[in-house]
Structure 1
Amino acid sequence: MITLTREHLEQTIERVIQRIRDMSGSIAETAPIGIISMENWEWPQGVGLFALHGYYRETGDRRLLDFLTDWFDARIAEGLPDKNVNTMCPMLTLTYLAEETGRPDYLDLCREWLDYVLNEMPRTEEGGLQHEVTGSANEGQLWDDTLYMTVLFVARMGVLLRDEICIQESVRQFLVHLKYLTDPSTGLFFHGWTFHEGGHHFAKALWARGNCWYTAGLVDYLDMIKLPEGVRGFLLSSLRRQANKLLELQSAEGAWHTLLNEPESYLETSATAAFAYGLLKGYRRGYLNESDRDAALRALDYVLTQIDGDGVVHGVSYGTGMGRTLREYRDIPICPMPYGQSMTLLLLVEALKNGIGAGEPNSGFASGQGEGADRHG
């Protein structure tokens, strides 16, 4: 186990944040909209913005608030891209800025994009949000990414507007996606499902980052809204079953492979950080066990080894479309990405909240009971 101090964690956080802010392309992009540079408006930038705002909420550092408002003002002035599942992701952070700044233009934009989700975004059978993205309609397809990229925004708008329709829509999307994407034999999630071609899970990929959107997203979703106990219990049971399998599949290094059940596929840092974040926060909230916390701390050790002296997080896979073969997932290139930085940031901040950094090995920390009342045996 790595011995950490709070000072070391805070210094690492500052370096990671700086790299989010100035992230730029390092490979030839294949996505229709650039997904590396922070000057673009897409889902990787949205994930980065959410992590930055979370750290701002913790620290009150006005420099971060200024960066966020400057970022949105610049993108809005440039003109926003077409609305779809992935371009919706930055709107989650804008809901918080609209509330904090009181700016009516921010709130109006949030309302406009919410209206698109509720009334215009393409749907699959059973009312699921079709994973339409820039350059591809993905007709009839459900992807696990959608919950993080769009559904969290819908839930947050429900809270902001006190609109029960939004809350219930977010619940429906979680339930529909879990119905079609859960692998009943493992409790993990397939990357996608199509209602076409007789219905199937494409390559049946148990893709790490797709899975981590649930692990990291659910713990934040439950912070946003109060759910009926039956729904809340169902979502948490899915988290617990997923966590049990994750512990079984964690590598000796403390990380997870990009195809979770294929040890020959490479270890992937963004998913590892997001899994560790969800497990560690889940423990603190009382949803998970000490074994889950211990796995998260092993993952934290691994993630720290992937951060270089400049704060760049390595071992992160590029954006990953729906694969028809497992080989397509194994061959995704690796390069620094905004979501690698941001998932690492979320993990490091959560580590501080768990009391890690008092100068002892990680395994000696956070051994007390979590905040919630959901600790299970």
Structure 2
Amino acid sequence: MLIRKQNLFKTAILFASVTLFSCKTVAQEPAKKVESQNQIVISKNAKWSDKMALTLMKRHPESYMIDNAKAPKWDYVHGLVLHSFEELYKKNADPRYNAYIKGYTDHLIEKDGTIKTYELEKYNIDMIVSGRLLFNLYETTKDNKYLVAMQTLKKQLEGQPRTSTGGFWHKQIYTNQMWLDGLYMGEPFYAQYTVTFENGKNLNDVAKQFEEIQLHATDPKTGLLYHGWDEKKLMPWANKETGNSPNFWSRALGWYAMALVDALDYFPKDHPKQKELVGYLNNVCASLAKFQDKSGLWYQVTDKGGKEGNYLEGSGSSMFAYAFAKGANKGYLPAKYKKLANKAFDGLTTKLMKVDADGTITMTDICAVAGLGGTPYRDGSYEYYVNEKKKDNDPKATGPFILAALELNR
């Protein structure tokens, strides 16, 4: 009887300790996350690229949380920011950067290669850009799910509605419209895909997209390109003669300049279209240089610097700094553009940057979003652009800022 009681006592103690241990483990799981966040230390002497990347990781512990997303979503802002992490990882092989990228893709790509939240039938060209993250992941892991996902995005491009002369519509719902944004969203992925898997057979079609927007959206007076072009000239925002939207928006021009320097990575020097694209880059950068403010930055509405309500804007300025620096580094642009890029970067870090006590950094005066048409209706007027909401550390600025910092080695 005594032995039986002792055994029961031992069993009770064992059960209690197992239960206690189990509860303890469960309770500590979330704490680990918080702890790892708090463990991110940002040195005062770190490069700006690392400062911004570590800031984003500290504030958004899971990469899908970028842009304050509450749940994983296949989206262009994640593609932009995490592409900058890919480039950063090439210079500073901190394993946390690679894990942050993979965390996003693995939240969204199923084992069979299905992309969660993505809807091909919407033919939204914004959805292509995150596919850029998959090339390296497929190459390094050989996991077929990444290849299947890339093939799905390529299938979208194959079916993407086009203007009568072959330019991709921005979205199925924006009929007969090309927007500057769309060149960045689609062309670098398209160029990399065709070079990686098709021996470059579609590079002429990649170049065609730039040719179309260059031909139709360029203003002969300033050399700048308008935000959008409606081939049928039916949209209320479209000029009845040209089909162009009424204003120059710096971020749209930034998307275009970045699209050129990134797509050019995949055009061999002897490709018949390579010189043409380099020419477009020189034209747009020469035009932009004329509108660079003495602060080094650019205004939200590019050509209306002194006008009431206009402001020096962070995303367009970051994008131009990157395009100028990369263009000069690659030899596409004259060396003077590196100086202009450094001047822009100085403006970003002195005029728009706040450094917090924990070493995290915040860029201010960034336009949160802008578009054309839609509901509620966006008319592309000067008043529309300068009154859109601003957002600190918006991903459309943080990603290009990291890329600019890398090109400038700052």
Query: Common fold, TM-score beyond 0.5?
Result: yes
Who is 1:329 aligned against? 385
For residue 174 of structure 1, give the secondary structure of its aligned residue in structure 2. helix
Alignment partner of 1:319 is 2:319: no
Of 261-270 and 52-61, the range deviating more from structure 2: 52-61
Equivalent position of 1:37 in the other structure = 68
For the 8 Å contact 1:44–1:337, the answer to whether it is kept is no
Pair 81,23 (structure 1): closer, same or farther in 2 beyond 3 Å: farther
User: Structure 1: 5+ residue runs without aligned partners?
Assistant: 1-6, 25-33, 357-377
1:346 aligns with 2:403: yes
Separation in structure 2 between the aligned mates of residue 45 and residue 201 of structure 1, nearest angstrom = 31
State the 1:66 CA deviation.
1.4
Q: Is the 8 A contact 2:229 2:245 kept in 1?
A: no
- On the 8 A contact 1:157/1:163 being kept in 2, the answer is no
**More off after superposition, 43-52 vs 11-20:** 11-20
Question: Who is 1:307 aligned against?
Answer: 353
Matches within 5 A, 1:161-240: 161-196=197-232, 197=234, 200-226=242-268, 228-240=270-282
Match of 2:148 among 97, 108, 133: 108
Please give the residue correspondences for 1:242-253 in structure 2 after superposition, counting only pairs within 5 Å. Answer: 242-253=284-295
The partner residue of 1:92 within 129, 132, 136 is 132
Over 3 Å counting, the alpha-carbon distance change for 1:35 and 1:71 in structure 2 is closer
Question: Which string of whole-angstrom CA distances, capped at 9 and with x for unpartnered residues, describes residues 22-73 of structure 1?
Answer: 667xxxxxxxxx9823543211111111111111122222221111111111
Aligned partner of 1:73 in structure 2 is: 106
Alignment CA distance shift 1:248-1:63 (3 Å): same
Whole-Å separation in 2 of the counterparts to 1:23 and 1:178: 39
- The one-letter amino acid paired with 2:185 is M
Residue identity matched to 1:60: A
- Higher relative CO (Cα under 8 Å, sequence separation at least 6) belongs to 1
d(CA) in 1 for partners of 2:148 and 2:290? 46
Identity %: 23
TM-score scaled by length of structure 1: 0.82
Q: Which moved more, 1:229-238 or 1:275-284?
A: 229-238
2:313 to 259, 268, 273: 268
Q: Is the 8 A contact 1:12 1:311 kept in 2?
A: no
2 CA distance for matches of 1:170 and 1:88? 14
Deviates more, 1:312-321 or 1:71-80: 71-80
Contact 1:35 1:43 in 2 (8 A): no
SS of aligned partner of 1:278 = helix
2:109 partner SS: helix
State the Cα distance separating 1:100 from its structure 2 match: 2.5
Q: 1:56 aligns with which of 82, 86, 89?
A: 89
Q: Output the aligned Cα RMSD.
A: 2.2
1:128 aligns with 2:173: no
Amino acid at match of 2:333: L
Q: 2:125 touches 2:170 (CA, 8 Å); kept in 1?
A: yes
Give structure 2 stretches of 5+ with no counterpart: 1-42, 235-239, 373-377
Aligned to 2:50, the other structure's residue is in SS state helix
- One-letter identity of the residue aligned with 2:147: L
